[in-house]
Amino acid sequence: MIIVMEKNVNQELIEQVTIKLGERHFQVHLSQGVERTIIGAVGNRTQEDLDLFETLAGVERVVPIVQPFKLASREFKQETVIKVKGCQLGGGTLTVIAGPCAVEGMEKYLEVARLVKASGAAMLRGGAFKPRTSPYSFQGMELEGLKILAEASRQTGLPVVTEVMDPRHMEMVALYADILQVGARNMQNYFLLRELGKIGKPVMLKRGPAATIEEWIMAAEYIISSGNPEVIMCERGIRSFETYTRNTLDLSAVPIIKHLTHLPVVVDPSHGTGKWRLVEPMSLAAVGAGCDGLMIEVHQNPTEAWSDGPQSLTPDRFQALMNNLGQMTAALGKKLEGGDKANG
Amino acid sequence: MIIVMEKNVNQELIEQVTIKLGERHFQVHLSQGVERTIIGAVGNRTQEDLDLFETLAGVERVVPIVQPFKLASREFKQETVIKVKGCQLGGGTLTVIAGPCAVEGMEKYLEVARLVKASGAAMLRGGAFKPRTSPYSFQGMELEGLKILAEASRQTGLPVVTEVMDPRHMEMVALYADILQVGARNMQNYFLLRELGKIGKPVMLKRGPAATIEEWIMAAEYIISSGNPEVIMCERGIRSFETYTRNTLDLSAVPIIKHLTHLPVVVDPSHGTGKWRLVEPMSLAAVGAGCDGLMIEVHQNPTEAWSDGPQSLTPDRFQALMNNLGQMTAALGKKLEGGDKANG
Amino acid sequence: MIIVMEKNVNQELIEQVTIKLGERHFQVHLSQGVERTIIGAVGNRTQEDLDLFETLAGVERVVPIVQPFKLASREFKQETVIKVKGCQLGGGTLTVIAGPCAVEGMEKYLEVARLVKASGAAMLRGGAFKPRTSPYSFQGMELEGLKILAEASRQTGLPVVTEVMDPRHMEMVALYADILQVGARNMQNYFLLRELGKIGKPVMLKRGPAATIEEWIMAAEYIISSGNPEVIMCERGIRSFETYTRNTLDLSAVPIIKHLTHLPVVVDPSHGTGKWRLVEPMSLAAVGAGCDGLMIEVHQNPTEAWSDGPQSLTPDRFQALMNNLGQMTAALGKKLEGGDKANG
Amino acid sequence: MIIVMEKNVNQELIEQVTIKLGERHFQVHLSQGVERTIIGAVGNRTQEDLDLFETLAGVERVVPIVQPFKLASREFKQETVIKVKGCQLGGGTLTVIAGPCAVEGMEKYLEVARLVKASGAAMLRGGAFKPRTSPYSFQGMELEGLKILAEASRQTGLPVVTEVMDPRHMEMVALYADILQVGARNMQNYFLLRELGKIGKPVMLKRGPAATIEEWIMAAEYIISSGNPEVIMCERGIRSFETYTRNTLDLSAVPIIKHLTHLPVVVDPSHGTGKWRLVEPMSLAAVGAGCDGLMIEVHQNPTEAWSDGPQSLTPDRFQALMNNLGQMTAALGKKLEGGDKANG
């Protein structure tokens, strides 16, 4: 880190800082300009160090230099490829995860699962626990929903992704699902993240709507440092002043995550825009940005969906999207993961 | 809610919508202009209704009219005043809550508790569980910290506020603390909110950094509708593009919450700005905006604090702030809660 | 517009509102529920109407229903295709505009112009007037820069886009440039917009960093309603809390503008991200989102650029990008505008 | 500035950077850690330097250290006090500027001017040129409005503040007004700012809705460096995701501007919130935050205002606010500027 001293600060205050740096095992490099002294401190700094030195007399500000994440970093590992039930996420293919926002019943779920598989989806999605802004909204089928997901996975052979919202449900969810999702509202629920570090299943970590890319990677660092290296990053839109869309889908996060970390990146254009009309163009855009996967909401009859109907595609529109994705991935020299199983 | 139909939509689609509204027990009011039809639907709408009608053919958009919260609303109740251990929050006084960001040990905590009481603080604060961006940072003293808080409360007679981060700790925290705080990162942790609805202690609900005022009130609605009417709202800054401050303290939230709800409002200028230099002016500003309480970080030696040192006041600066608050509340015809106990 | 009355408001206040609506030639439709009255007002409302009715006694809020733009709207016209010097923007092709951020001299500009043409650029870009945050930064070559742009256009046959910052320069800039650009900082400089309505050349209107999509379209409405229907919309990133990128490129704006208006949309990934490493993935993403054009900064030696070096591509990287764009547009059934002239 | 080199970069690239720094007259300080080299560069850096070094091979990023403004800085001057027509802004008093959003006619303006003076306003405000989102809205009375403002100033003896939107109107506006205002949409209209540097009247510079505090100060630097040291900063709200208020009034900007610069700070709670109900609490809050002045919209009949009625106070409510401001400034040891002239 770099410590910038106030203008024309006296020598004594500079010494106080350098002594304190020494105590904390930093190498010190002084740059004394005409008006201002800058102190370079080389060593393993923590957030506490940044805070501490910012409070010392004579210090104007402390500038962190090295990124705070380690295990998630590309310097630590080249690439993480997730493999589950014969399906791959990361490593150069495009993996499409599809299904309704919420699980609403066995019949309906099995039907849509078969439809999205036929169109080429490689994984299934569906919420058994639903975080809802209003306490008066449908909150999910819970255990019953998990069982439906597991049955759909068994019948289609596709792995299933679902959200876990509470550490107390962790074991139960892990029993039925193949990939556990952390919702955007829970991205900084650190007790949940640490628990996810202890299970043996991949975790899909959605970006919080107000989380910087660095904070998002730090949340992944929580999971990895607790013992689980299989983390998938999912961009689903950040909060901005724009009100036309539900969120502002930050596609630049895709190449940035791939540059800074070794983790695969999935994009969720359904939550990211909140409007089905935008799902297709933003899916193609996400593939252009280099994502490893897409997470798409599909519902037989969005008008009757119990949650997030306006952002769900019908099976027909999903089929059309898959056709376009096929052409586009081919043009970019990629292949659609699991596409060979469709209609198979 | 209002359903705006697309331009020049045919009569059949309008009828489909009105039939569906009837099925859901809405009264229907048609406004047919030259180009556009607008349908007023009077009844108890849910988020599902908004979503459902937005997906119907011919519908351009659905506009919610009535606010979605009920029990938190000022139309439901005039004013909530929290009373705990002889100290009041809400109801016309100014209640100052003070203490360090994190509990760091018995001696240190008792010392600062005595100091802030002597300066006129009415309640104590201190974190036993600390949500930290980095997994490598100090995460709190946990149970030991809770015991220190309870001891400080016993010795000073002041009630104590502390954060609970996980439903599994709820009972334990409630055993030692007088008011349970929901941190900003957990504002939409709905399982936690529902559990807090079942305890018999007041809850201080911090605003999420990306939460609209409506979403924040809906989080309070979760707690109240689960059985606990004693909710305190705490504004602690929202995320904006400005980087000079840690957050952007949205003081307009104070009169808005007081206008829309019956709940008391506390402002946290320490987290809201991230810089001790801004704590005093923003505290005075918050009182001008009409808050019921302030939450201030105080540490004997901010340079040695284990968390958030740069935003902590020294006891001397806290004393100076309390003097100014005393004069300002007097000018506004308010009194400082618990000020009579100071130095007592 | 819809006027929502306060809960249990008396009949007299409702009448006052309906009388005032009548005076302003609105058709009135009353919806009286048990607790609340909602008044639908059909007619040509202005912002003044929204404001006026919001101040009347008994009114809780006024909800605008119909979008405020007319001439820019897709309901008014199907599609605008810009044609200049044999080059087309809009209408199904992908038009790449390339060149340095600022014009820095005749030699250098002509060289880069030839290079980007050889790689397949269809138009040239370059700033003669540069809006800079600091008064101490290079502010552009002004008239001399314009002459260089015109000469490059003459030699390459490609049309040239450049920014106009002040109404007093309008005539001069229009003399040398083919398309006049309004910079993001000037998106709501209404006197400038009105002047641009009077010239006979197309205008490229960059989105302001804090402008909603509706405000951006309203800025286009200023130009069109002043007499110039040839407006090109340019998304260049909005301001969010994320600091890793210079701006947050809002690619969802592309399909939204195409849905709401008849205007062509260009994306500027150079300013939109601020980092050359992100220009290629975000260019491919923009094409996936359905843009009509891309605006790319290219500089022979970004290290020596007088402005915005870190976001400029070298000619080699630009060539590689054009190759990828060619494959991608082919896959999407589009063609690269002017690609046939390259190397010609 | 600090140049952070990539991990394990080779010695040659480090030398290239240090040679280039030498060419540009920077003193170089190398800090070579085990993994990473950091280069401190002491000297007068510009934005160009930051950009240039960021493009060099082996450089990870460049961190600016010293703030980019000079003449606006508190290090340059202690305090600026504006004096105009016997009225002071800055220097320890509270100066209230009041009047309607737009000038709507001689009679009406003179009446409201007399009313706000009687209540204790020290300056008048009113728009003759109105920046409006819609081209179909009232755009101001222009020259006629300016004449009305000048007449009101003559009759009341109060100085008058009004907006200038276009460099071509500068002379005309300066002829009639005492203080020229730069609107939020024009904060980065650099040609306008430079022209304002050449007139001999104070300038009130509103903060752009997406401007960081540093960018806002840089805009002031444009005016000052062009020759006009009399700049007043006006906080009027920034754009955030919150939709309940028109803008998010960032009161922390008040103590920050006073800490970083020598310029007086005014707060505009009318535009800052967009709702008259919030004007009083946010005015008191602004005074608590330490502002030098307030800018308040007052209209005899907000329901009939041609612009921004919902945020205007009636004269009665303005009188009540002035009473509260009087008590609050007294408690804080300040006085209301020009209060002695009221009713005089």
Confidence of residue A34 (pLDDT cuts 50, 70, 90): low
State the pLDDT at residue A344.
42
| Cβ within 8 Å, pair C245-A251 | no
Q: Using the beta-carbon criterion (under 8 Å), do D189 and C186 form an inter-chain contact?
A: yes
**In C, which residues are within 8 Å of D139 by CB distance?**
190
Average pLDDT over residues D82-94: 96
Q: Which residues of D touch C47 (CB under 8 A)?
A: 132-134, 137
Cβ contacts from C onto D, under 8 A: 131
Q: Does D25 touch chain B (CB under 8 A)?
A: no
Q: Please give the pLDDT value at position D188.
A: 95
User: Which residues from chain C sit within 8 angstroms of residue D191, using beta carbons?
Assistant: 165-166, 168
Contact between C289 and C299 (Cβ < 8 Å): no
From chain D, the residues in CB contact with B254 under 8 A are 281, 285
Question: What per-residue confidence (pLDDT) applies to B162?
Answer: 98
Residue B71, sorted as left (phi over 0), alpha (psi -120 to 50) or beta, turns out to be alpha
Within 10 A of D16 (CB to CB), how many other CB atoms are there?
15
How far apart CA A174 and CA A180 sit, in angstroms, is 7
User: In chain A, which residues have their Cβ closer than 8 Å to the Cβ of B274?
Assistant: none
Q: Tokens for A141? A: 């089928």
Q: B147 vs chain C: nearest CA distance in angstroms?
A: 38
- What pLDDT, on the 0 to 100 scale, is given for residue D194? 95
Edge-to-edge strand list for the sheet holding B2-5: B27-32, B37-42, B2-5, B59-63
Chain segment B238-286, per-residue pLDDT in tens: 999 999 999 999 999 999 999 999 999 999 999 999 999 999 999 999 9
**B186, A190: Cβ pair inside 8 Å?**
no
Q: Is B248 on the interface with A (CB under 8 A)?
A: no
What is the arithmetic mean of pLDDT over C110-122? 97
* Mean local confidence (pLDDT), A123-148: 92
CA-based nearest residue in chain C for residue B40: C31
**In this predicted structure, what is the pLDDT of residue B339?**
63
For CATH 3.20.20.70, list the domain ranges present in chain B: 82-341
Q: Which of A58-62, C207-211, C308-312, D301-305 has the highest mean pLDDT?
A: C207-211
- What single letter denotes the amino acid at residue A209? P
Q: How far is D326 from chain A (nearest CA, A)?
A: 36
**Using CA of residue D104, residue D106, residue D111, residue D115, what is the dihedral sign?**
positive
Instruction: Say yes or no for a CB contact (<8 Å) between B136 and A46.
Output: yes
Write out pLDDT tens, residues C179-235.
Answer: 999 999 999 999 999 999 999 999 999 999 999 999 999 999 999 999 999 999 999
Distance from CA of B130 to the nearest CA of A (A): 10
Neighbours of C344 (CB within 10 A): 9
Tell me which residues of chain B, numbers 119 to 138, contact chain A at a CB-CB cutoff of 8 Å: 131-138
Whether residues A255 and C286 touch (CB distance < 8 A) is answered with no
User: Min CA distance, B338 vs chain A (Å)?
Assistant: 31
The whole-number average pLDDT for the span A67-83 is: 92
Cβ neighbours around B191 below 10 Å, total = 22
Nearest CA in chain B to A190: B131
Cα-based distances in Å from C21 to B290, C42, D308, D311: 36, 9, 19, 21
Average pLDDT, chain B: 92
* C314 Cβ contact list (under 8 Å, min separation 6): C298, C299, C300, C301, C302
CB contact under 8 A, A135 and B190: yes
Contact of B278 with chain D, judged by CB distance below 8 Å, is answered with: yes
CB pairs under 8 A between B and D: 128
Q: Is A38 helix (H, G, I), strand (E, B) or coil?
A: strand
Give C302's DSSP letter. G
Neighbouring chains of A at 3+ CB pairs under 8 Å are B, C, D
By CB atoms closer than 10 A (0-12, 13-18, 19+), residue A245 is buried
Q: Smallest Cα–Cα separation from B163: which of B104, B103, B228?
A: B103
Q: How far is B335 from chain D (nearest CA, A)?
A: 14
**Which of A36, A63, A75 has the CB atom closest to D63's CB atom?**
A63
Chains near D with 3+ CB pairs less than 8 A apart are: A, B, C
pTM for the whole structure: 0.94
Residue D7 near chain A (CB below 8 Å): yes
Contacts of D328 in chain B (CB under 8 A): 288, 328, 331-332
Please give the mean pLDDT across all residues of chain C: 92
Question: Taking the mean position of all CA atoms in its chain, how far away is CA D179?
Answer: 13
Tokens describing residue D153: 């100033």
Q: What local confidence, expressed as pLDDT, does residue B176 receive? A: 97
| Confidence at residue D242, expressed as pLDDT on a 0 to 100 scale | 95
**R_g of chain A computed on alpha carbons:** 23
- CATH 3.30.70.1140 residue ranges in chain A? 2-63
Q: Which two tokens stand for residue C226?
A: 């002043």
**Chain B residues in contact with A56 (beta carbon < 8 A):** 303
Whether C270 contacts chain D with CB within 8 A: no
Instruction: Flag the least confident range among A326-335, C95-104, C260-269, D233-242.
Output: A326-335
pLDDT at A162 (0 to 100): 98
The mean per-residue pLDDT over the stretch C253-264 comes to: 97
| pLDDT band per the 50, 70, 90 thresholds, residue D341 | low
pLDDT attached to residue C223:
97
A95 — pLDDT class (breaks 50, 70, 90): very high
Which residues of chain D have a CB within 8 Å of the CB of C168?
167-168, 191
Superfamily of domain A2-63: Phospho-2-dehydro-3-deoxyheptonate aldolase; domain 1 (3.30.70.1140)
Model confidence over C15-54: pLDDT tens digits?
989 998 988 888 888 877 767 788 888 777 777 777 788 8
pLDDT greater than 80 at residue D33: no
CA distance, residue C215 to nearest chain A CA (Å)? 10
Query: A238 at the C interface (CB within 8 A)?
Result: yes
Q: What distance in Å separates the CA atoms of residue A125 and residue A129, rounded to the nearest whole number?
A: 12
Residues 6+ apart with CB under 8 A from B47: A132, A133, A134, A137, B68
Q: Which residues of chain D does C166 touch, with a Cβ-Cβ cutoff of 8 Å?
A: 167, 191-192
The first and second tokens of residue B338, run together, are: 């618990």
Q: Which residues pair with D181 in a beta bridge?
A: D163, D204
- Whether C252 and C289 have beta carbons less than 8 Å apart is answered as yes
Distance CA D326, CA B331 (A): 10
User: Bridge partners of D296?
Assistant: D98
Separation CA D312–CA D125 (nearest Å): 12
> Residue C40 is nearest to which of B34, B38, B42, comparing CB atoms?
B38
A58 CB near a chain B CB, below 8 Å? no
For testing contact with chain D, the best of B251, B271, B325, B329 (most D CBs within 10 A): B251
| CB-based burial, C271-303: b 16+ in 10 Å, e otherwise | bbbbbbebbbbbbbbbbbbbbbbbbbbbbbebb
Distance from CA of C249 to the nearest CA of A (A): 7
Give the one of A213, A278, A324 whose C-beta lies nearest to C242's C-beta: A213
What mean pLDDT is predicted for residues A297-319? Answer: 89
C190/D139 CB distance under 8 A:
yes
The pLDDT value recorded for residue B342 is 60
- The ipTM is 0.92
Find which of D67, D215, D242 to mutate to test the B interface (most B CBs within 10 Å of its CB).
Answer: D242
Of A245, A289, A328, the CB nearest to C281: A289
D4 min Cα distance to partner chain B (Å): 21
A225–chain B Cβ distance below 8 A for any pair:
yes
Nearest to A215 among B133, B194, B218 (CB): B133
Percent of chain A's residues with pLDDT above 90: 72
* Strands annotated E in chain C: 2-5, 27-32, 37-42, 59-63, 82-84, 87-89, 93-99, 123-125, 160-163, 179-182, 203-206, 231-235, 265-267, 293-297, 335-336
Q: What is d(CA D12, CA C161) in angstroms, rounded to the nearest whole number?
A: 40
Sole residue written with tokens 């209609």: A343
**CATH placement of domain A82-341:** 3.20.20.70
User: Which ranges of chain B have pLDDT less than 50?
Assistant: 344
- On whether the CB atoms of residues A50 and A24 are closer than 8 A, the answer is no
Task: Output the pLDDT for position D344.
Answer: 42
